[in-house]
Amino acid sequence: MPKNTDKYYLAFSYLLNVTPFFKAKLLNFFDYDIEHAFRCKKEELENFTYPVSRNFFKQKDSINPDDILSEIQNKKIKYITYENGEYPDLLKQIDDPPLMMYYKGEFPRCHFDKTLAVVGSRNASQSAKTVLSSLFSSMKNLPITVVSGLAMGIDAAAHRCAILNNIPTIGVIGCGIDMVYPYINKDLYKEMEEEKGLILSEYPPKTNPIPRNFPQRNRIVTGLSYGTLVAEAALRSGALISANLTLEQGREVMCIPGIVTNPNTEGIYKLIKDGAPIVTSADDIFEILNWDFTKTKSEIQLSSLEKHIFDIIAREPISFEKIQISSGVDNSHLMILLTELEIKGLIKQINGQYLLG
């Protein structure tokens, strides 16, 4: 059953010309009494220290909270308000948290104590996608959650890599929750909604994906996350905006280095020059965010053949060809075994040599 206050949170979401920052500060001004904040009169804001839009009162007076609640209920659209117990605590810590969010999927699927944002170019290079794939394969089955913006390029790659490695993922979109944008991601939307995570939006149904919505939604992507991994970023890009937002929110920014001749890495190298740490492995991320996923050999179940291959590599760094000769395993099967050992974090490959991870 909805709370009596839900209709006012919903009503605020329909004030599209009022900034999230203004809404958050208004709620704080009225001691988190959402009904009072929505029903406030002009004279009550004389001591409010933030500029009040000239059309604010006209806009809100044109909205009927009861009608909006009825419409959302009839359409069976799910939402979460600021005062709901499942609202992520980390998101409440930013200066302009959304007062409420519409969603598809289920909150319990996600691990909100270990969240990682991934941002980057919509024109993602194959190199960046390959690195992401490698990083996430090293995180397989770990209790973390990947957050991104469900756009083309790096966003979509991050969500897909998470799903392939059994990692919950959250997509924050810049349009109504009843829309799919870009439409090419429709299958990704469906998979996330039905079993792999969450889709979130602070915008009411039927809100079109207009350009100004995307920089605004970026603060939610980073606000939900303990750190932001920048995979690719031009000097003037949404990914660089997200990196700056992350720093403003007091969170960690980290970068995947890329090919220096790629224009989409110019923002990456600017961040690195400014002090952002470089990520070349999942362990780098864990160290930066102080996440402990230490596993010992005894805690990991190995087949007898996997243990045999591991013992060969444990003696000294060794090439694929020499492992094949020592083990007698055919090439295709050996590649599968080595990949599994890498995913389990027991070995790694450097300069064509396999060694302990």
Amino acid at 245: L
**Nearest 5 degrees, angle CA 9-CA 15-CA 21?**
80
Return the bridge partners of 278, or none.
255
DSSP 3-state of 163: helix
Provide the pLDDT for residue 332: 86
Provide the pLDDT for residue 135: 92
Q: Where does CATH 3.40.50.450 sit in the chain?
A: 107-289
Both tokens of 151, joined, read: 């756009």
- Residue in the structure block whose two tokens are 């004389």: 46
Q: Is 2.60.40.1170 the CATH classification of the domain at 107-289?
A: no
CA nearest 32: which of 59, 2, 5? 5
Burial label, 294 (beta-carbon count in 10 A; 0-12, 13-18, 19+): exposed
* CB half-sphere exposure, 273, CA atoms < 13 A: 6
Distance CA 137, CA 160 (A): 11
CA distances from 3 to 38, 48, 79, 309 (A): 16, 27, 12, 59
Q: Could you tell me which residues come within 8 angstroms of residue 224 by beta carbon, excluding any fewer than 6 positions away?
A: 88, 90, 91, 112, 115, 117, 147, 170, 172
Longest dimension (CA), the chain: 84
Q: What is the pTM of this model?
A: 0.82
Distance CA 282, CA 161 (A): 13
The residue ranges of the chain whose pLDDT is under 70 are 1, 294-299, 357
Matching CATH number, 297-356, of 1.20.58.480, 3.40.1030.10, 1.10.10.10, 3.40.50.620: 1.10.10.10
Provide the pLDDT for residue 294: 66
Distance CA 153, CA 129 (A): 8
**Structural contact between residues 32 and 97, judged by C-beta atoms closer than 8 angstroms:** no
Distance CA 333, CA 324 (A): 10
3-state helix, strand, coil in the chain (%, to 5): 45, 15, 40
Provide the pLDDT for residue 352: 84
Q: Where does CATH 1.10.10.10 sit in the chain?
A: 297-356
**Structural contact between residues 189 and 148, judged by C-beta atoms closer than 8 angstroms:** no
**Structural contact between residues 312 and 326, judged by C-beta atoms closer than 8 angstroms:** yes
Give per-residue pLDDT as tens, 314-338: 878 899 999 999 888 888 889 888 8
- Residue in the structure block whose two tokens are 């924050």: 172
Distance CA 197, CA 162 (A): 10
**Structural contact between residues 230 and 255, judged by C-beta atoms closer than 8 angstroms:** yes
Q: What is the DSSP letter of 291?
A: -
Provide the pLDDT for residue 347: 86
Distance CA 175, CA 203 (A): 6
Provide the pLDDT for residue 180: 96
